Amino acid sequence: MTEKRVFRSDTFVNRSFVAGIPFILMFGGLTHFAFAWLGKTNWAAPFVPVNESVWEHLKMSYWTTFLWFFFIFLRKLWVLDCLRR
């Protein structure tokens, strides 16, 4: 008897990558101005760009990508947990 696979990790990962592109671009664009919006506070400096250097733009893309994949990780854990029940 063949078992129908409800969850295929390869398609889940591919869809997550494609869906992440607009999220990373839009959220990264918002973080570009977040330091000024937050009143130039010291606690925001490690997470959002402070000036226009290459390092600050890399920081902007790093944290948005990290956040996206953290959400994907949590979602995958939730889906796997639901399938086990």
pLDDT value, residue 7: 55
19 falls within a domain: yes
4 falls within a domain: no
Calculate the dihedral angle through the C-alpha atoms of 27, 28, 32, 34, rounding to the nearest 10 degrees: 40
Position with higher pLDDT, 13 vs 63: 63
Number of domains in the chain: 1
1 falls within a domain: no
pLDDT value, residue 66: 93
3 falls within a domain: no
Tell me the per-residue pLDDT of 25-83, one tens digit each, with 9 for 90 and over.
898 888 888 888 989 889 988 888 888 889 888 988 899 999 998 988 888 888 777 76
Res. 12 pLDDT band, cuts 50 70 90: low
- What is the rounded CA–CA span in Å between residue 62 and residue 59? 5
35 falls within a domain: yes
What domain range is 50 assigned to?
9-84
